[in-house]
């Protein structure tokens, strides 16, 4: 299982996402390691996050309505734009993770995360390389790097062409179009998938670390049985 030091990238990523409000949680840490997280539905951060998700839910509906429009009416279909449009619509479906893990069962999410994180050992006898880790450990360790990088790349792709049908700017009347309106619309278009990617990142990390914890437990028990 990952050590606290090997989990440092995830620690930094989660702290950043929490500070900018993309995750509705407070992090209690020591020595650059997360000791526990706190999800308080009564806190101001949590309420602001819920309101943001509700606002972005309209963006989800807009993205899917535009996708259906492009499929049903050929005159709205632009083949080069379709893959990005479809991918953006799928990412917006991650709003269900936001609802399930942070609105419906926030305390369960908090307890599961804190239980898993408490099982991370403080250190190992020697520094391990990636070749010494199993696949789950590598995936868990690099998730804190891969997910933010991919999110930034996707944001750049969205911003590279403001004529895409699924962007809010495409629905703005010509008389209102201009750089200020483009910035406002593009902010919503970029923040929406990043918001839900942040939630899915935490969910992904939880699942990978859970399976790795179970795997480490089973390996330990098998070794104990062999020694008996």
Angle between helices 179-227 and 82-92 (to 10 degrees): 60
Name the average pLDDT for the chain.
Answer: 84
Start-to-end C-alpha separation, the chain: 24
- Tell me: pLDDT of 83 over 70: yes
Tokens linked to 216: 């480490």
Residue 34 has pLDDT above 70, yes or no: yes
Percent above pLDDT 70 for the chain: 97
Q: How confident is the model at residue 126 (pLDDT cuts 50, 70, 90)?
A: low
In degrees rounded to 5, what are phi and psi of residue 141? Answer: -65, -40
pLDDT band at residue 128 using 50, 70 and 90 as cut-offs: confident
- In this structure, the chain runs to a length of 228
In the chain, % of residues over pLDDT 90: 18
- Is residue 124 pLDDT above 70, yes or no? no
Residue 125 has pLDDT above 70, yes or no: no
Helix (H) or strand (E) holding 54: helix 44-72
For residue 16, pLDDT over 80 is answered with yes
Which token pair is 115?
Answer: 């239980």
State which H helix or E strand residue 35 sits in: strand 33-38
Neighbours of 25 (CB within 10 A): 22
pTM reported for the whole predicted model: 0.83
When pLDDT is averaged across residues 75-89 and rounded to a whole number, the result is: 81
DSSP-assigned states of every residue in 70-136: HHH-GGG--GGGHHHHHHHHHHHTTHHHHIIIIIISHHHHHHHHHHHHTTS-S--SSPPPGGGS-HH
d(C-alpha 169, C-alpha 182), whole Å:
6
187 backbone dihedrals φ, ψ, rounded to 5°: -60, -45
* pLDDT tens-place string over residues 149-200: 877 887 787 777 777 878 888 888 888 888 888 888 888 888 888 888 888 8
In angstroms, the CA 18 to CA 37 distance is: 10
**Domains in the chain: boundaries:** 8-227
């Amino acid at each position: 299982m990952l050590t606290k030091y090997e989990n440092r990238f995830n620690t930094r990523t989660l702290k950043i996402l929490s500070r900018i409000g993309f995750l509705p949680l407070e992090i209690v840490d020591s020595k650059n390691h997360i000791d526990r997280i706190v999800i308080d539905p009564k806190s101001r951060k949590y309420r602001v996050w819920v309101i943001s998700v509700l606002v972005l839910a309209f963006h989800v509906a807009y993205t899917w309505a535009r996708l259906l429009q492009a499929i049903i009416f050929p005159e709205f279909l632009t083949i080069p734009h379709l893959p990005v449009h479809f991918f953006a619509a799928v990412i917006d479906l991650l709003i269900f993770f936001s609802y399930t893990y942070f609105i419906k069962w926030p305390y369960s999410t908090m307890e599961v995360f804190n239980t898993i994180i408490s099982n991370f050992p403080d250190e190992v006898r020697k520094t391990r390389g990636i070749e010494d880790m199993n696949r789950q450990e590598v995936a868990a360790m690099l998730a804190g790097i891969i997910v933010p990088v991919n999110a930034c790349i996707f944001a750049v792709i969205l911003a590279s062409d403001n004529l895409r049908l699924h962007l809010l700017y495409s629905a703005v009347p010509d008389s209102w179009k201009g750089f200020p309106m483009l910035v406002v619309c593009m902010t919503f278009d970029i923040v929406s998938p990043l918001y839900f990617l942040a939630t899915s990142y935490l969910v992904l990390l939880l699942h990978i670390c859970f399976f790795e914890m179970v795997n480490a437990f089973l390996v330990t028990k098998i070794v104990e049985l062999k020694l008996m």
